Amino acid sequence: MKKISGKWMGSWAGMVLVAVGAINLGAAPAHAQYYRFWRGVQRPDLTSSQFEKGLNEKLLPATGDLFRTSVGIKSYQPVLFGKALTQLGHFPSEVALLTYKSEEAYQAYRATAPGQAYGDLHFEIFQKDGSGSLVPELYRGTVKLEAAYDLVGRDVDWNQGISQFKVYSRSGRFSDAKYLSSIRDHIEHVTEFSPKAAVLLIAKDYVLEYTLWSSRRSLDLANQTIVDTEILDDLVEITSRTDLSIELHLGSSVREGQGVRYHQAGARH
């Protein structure tokens, strides 16, 4: 791997993360989060503006309402991809990381009429083919395609700290084995920074990653050194349009190329 010195220069950058520190991946957590990692593909009969309107006026508020139900949702972090990615053909239109109190509470809610209606609401704006959720499993040193992993395994509050989202695009020059090996190396680098939480989804052509940091200092440290692995060679950092940082801020709507930690004004999450 080749080290590269540099600074992030805008809302879209070609970088890969690396760091220093230590974390024990071998020990099972006392209580891991129950995550659902959603990927949604826009319905082809909707325009971009219709899709964005449906997302912000229907799905995001409906998901936000779950904070006040028995489903036990704890955090919701949607990201709306921009045309720079979606026009490539293999990226989803929108992704989201959701954390719940437990799988049992989630399944019980989805079995109710309101829970079924909430599930159906997704397909007013998303096509069924290619849209759906993966449940991250605790990372134990091996990875595979079309799987998601909880890299830390702690029960944390994603609304406390600094949340960051990244997309890594796969280089087509390498085999699946080398691609997955590079991802394992990348996981080791990320966890050496000791993030509070980290969740990663591995698709055939890209990797999605949410990380949570305890402080500005730890976030800055995690972005001081950049390493080019030649496998995950096109890092895209989804940023806030407000300050062009790489973090996801509190908010109740998303725009193209943006992500938020969903928060309704006056709500207690």
Average pLDDT of span 241-257: 69
Higher pLDDT pick, 186 / 262: 262
Say if strands 137-138 and 147-150 run parallel, antiparallel, or are unpaired: parallel
Q: Count Cβ atoms below 10 Å from residue 204 Cβ, excluding itself.
A: 10
Structural domains in the chain (count): 1
pTM score, whole prediction: 0.82
CA of residue 247 relative to chain centroid, distance: 12
Q: Count Cβ atoms below 10 Å from residue 118 Cβ, excluding itself.
A: 19
Decide if 81 is inside a domain: yes
What confidence score (pLDDT) does residue 92 get? 93
Decide if 267 is inside a domain: no
Decide if 23 is inside a domain: yes
Decide if 259 is inside a domain: no
Decide if 265 is inside a domain: no
Quick check: 149 and 25 in contact, CB under 8 A? no
**Among the listed ranges 48-62, 186-200, 219-233, 255-269, which one has the minimum average pLDDT value?**
219-233
Quick check: 40 and 259 in contact, CB under 8 A? no
Residue 65 sits at φ, ψ, to 5 deg, of -65, -20
Rounded CA-CA distance 149/155 in Å is 14
Decide if 68 is inside a domain: yes
Residues 65-89 pLDDT 10s: 999 888 889 999 999 988 777 777 7
Q: Which two tokens stand for residue 95?
A: 């992704």
Q: Burial, 24: exposed, middle or buried (Cβ in 10 Å; 0-12, 13-18, 19+)?
A: exposed
Quick check: 80 and 254 in contact, CB under 8 A? yes
Q: Evaluate if residue 11 carries a pLDDT over 90.
A: no
Closest by alpha carbon to 18, among 188, 196, 217? Answer: 188
Domain of 199: which CATH number? 3.30.70.100
Decide if 44 is inside a domain: yes
Q: Which two tokens stand for residue 260?
A: 């938020």
Quick check: 118 and 66 in contact, CB under 8 A? yes
Decide if 255 is inside a domain: no
CA R_g for the chain: 18
Three-state SS for 53? helix
Quick check: 259 and 238 in contact, CB under 8 A? yes
Rounded CA-CA distance 213/25 in Å is 17
Residue with tokens 């050194």, as numbered in its chain = 225
Range of the domain at 110: 2-250
Please report which confidence band the pLDDT of residue 237 belongs to, taking 50, 70 and 90 as the band edges: very low
CA of residue 20 relative to chain centroid, distance: 22
Residues 107-140 pLDDT 10s: 999 999 999 999 999 999 999 999 999 999 999 9
